[in-house]
Amino acid sequence: MDKKEYKPLTIPKLTWNKKTLTDTFGELVAQPLEPGFGMTLGGTLRRILLGGIEGAAVTSVIIKGINNEFTALPGVSEDAMQVLLNIKGIVIKNTTGKPGRMRLTVDGEATAKAADIVADGHFEIVNPDHVIARVSAGGKLDIEFFVEIGRGYQRTQWPVGQALQEDNRVYLDAMFSPVRKVMFDVEKTRVGKDIGYDKLILRITTNGAENPIDVVHYAVSILRTQLEHFITGTEIPFNEISDVPSYTEDDDAGDAAAGDGLKGISPEVLMKPIEELELSVRAHNCLINAGIKRFIDLVNVVEDEGLKIKNFGSKSLNEVKDGLKAFGLSLGMNIKESDLKKALQDKA
């Protein structure tokens, strides 16, 4: 019996808008997509981004001198309720995914800010200028924060049957998600003479604890993990039988498909100098000294080789990987110089 043949799928090219990309905002364009897939993928990713990304948040506190959220704080302008609301506004970046504690102690007249908090080593306060309370002369504020990891929104987790806690702890509801807003648009794009393909534009706003590129990676990982359990037989190898289309209505997307050897990457992008990655001085100089001056030089470096570059550590490596992601590139792509030259000649 002959092996069944399947019709290939259209493989989209993903591009981040470098001009608007920051630690808190990113615009991702995916095109071309199969007809109807723009709305399907956009809606699905939006739901996962808003409710499925891990984050850190304060879930309970011990404020010295009070045992409930309705108490007045001597020497503090705000009452306990307002202080608790301000605490919920602290943005925390967690580097290990583990819970922990933080401490704030203010003695005397001062404006207590998030920058005054002493946190466990794996926590980083993203908004240090955030005001927590205003302490007057002779006043004192002593707060212990308990930070947990979670997804989405969590209601206040008061222990059942206990109105007041022995340690005077006050519990808070928490919004763990670092994603604040997700919007998407679906437009039509052309592949050859066919104008029925989709173009997905995804706009993501975060609180700065995670950047847009990383939260999309996380969301897609969740989606892929969930969906792969729906496969009941041998997976159909669509990635192997499908190719990037040879032309779309956008120049960048058309260029991206020039030459199979370029793996769907625009030759102009590969010719860009590494200065456009806006790397730190240390990382930039290490690459230049190693003879890596263009994007094509960089994408042909594998991670193990990168770590062998003199004075180039894992921090610099991660910086480079994040920079390349914004252009739809990665390390270890193994693109031949000859293929790049041929693509440039064909376009001339």
- pTM comes to 0.69
Residues 193 and 45 in one domain: yes
Residues 135 and 195 in one domain: no
Whole-number Å distance between alpha carbons of 86 and 88: 5
Residues 133 and 60 in one domain: yes
- Quick one: how far is CA 2 from the chain centroid? 45
Q: Name the pLDDT band for 256 (thresholds 50, 70, 90).
A: very low
Q: Is the pLDDT of residue 2 over 70?
A: no
> Each residue of 191-217: pLDDT tens digit?
777 778 899 999 999 999 999 999 999
> What residue numbers bound the domain in which 284 lies?
258-348
Q: Which strand (E) or helix (H) includes residue 112?
A: strand 110-113
Q: Which strand (E) or helix (H) includes residue 44?
A: helix 37-51
> Each residue of 283-319: pLDDT tens digit?
898 999 889 999 989 988 888 888 888 888 888 888 8
Residues 42 and 185 in one domain: yes
Residues 169 and 184 in one domain: no
Q: How many domains does the chain have?
A: 3
Whole-number Å distance between alpha carbons of 306 and 317: 7
> Each residue of 258-267: pLDDT tens digit?
444 666 677 8
- Percent over 90 (pLDDT), the chain: 50
Question: What are the structure tokens assigned to 78, written together?
Answer: 């705000």
Q: Name the pLDDT band for 322 (thresholds 50, 70, 90).
A: confident
Residues 129 and 272 in one domain: no
Which domain-ending residue is among 250, 278, 299? 250
Distance, first Cα to last Cα, the chain:
48
In a domain, 37, yes or no: yes
In a domain, 297, yes or no: yes
CATH number at residue 22: 3.30.1360.10
**Mean pLDDT across the stretch 16-44?**
92
Question: What are the structure tokens assigned to 300, written together?
Answer: 């042909």
In a domain, 2, yes or no: no
In a domain, 169, yes or no: yes
Residues 43 and 113 in one domain: no
Which region holds residue 48: left if phi is over 0, alpha if psi is between -120 and 50, else beta? alpha
Residues 81 and 188 in one domain: no
Q: Is the pLDDT of residue 30 over 50?
A: yes
**Mean pLDDT across the stretch 119-124?**
94
CATH number at residue 98: 2.170.120.12
Residues 213 and 279 in one domain: no
Q: Is the pLDDT of residue 116 over 90?
A: yes
According to the model, what pLDDT value does residue 80 have?
92
In a domain, 211, yes or no: yes
According to the model, what pLDDT value does residue 8 have?
85
> Each residue of 53-100: pLDDT tens digit?
999 999 999 999 888 888 888 899 999 999 999 999 999 999 999 999
Whole-number Å distance between alpha carbons of 36 and 169: 51
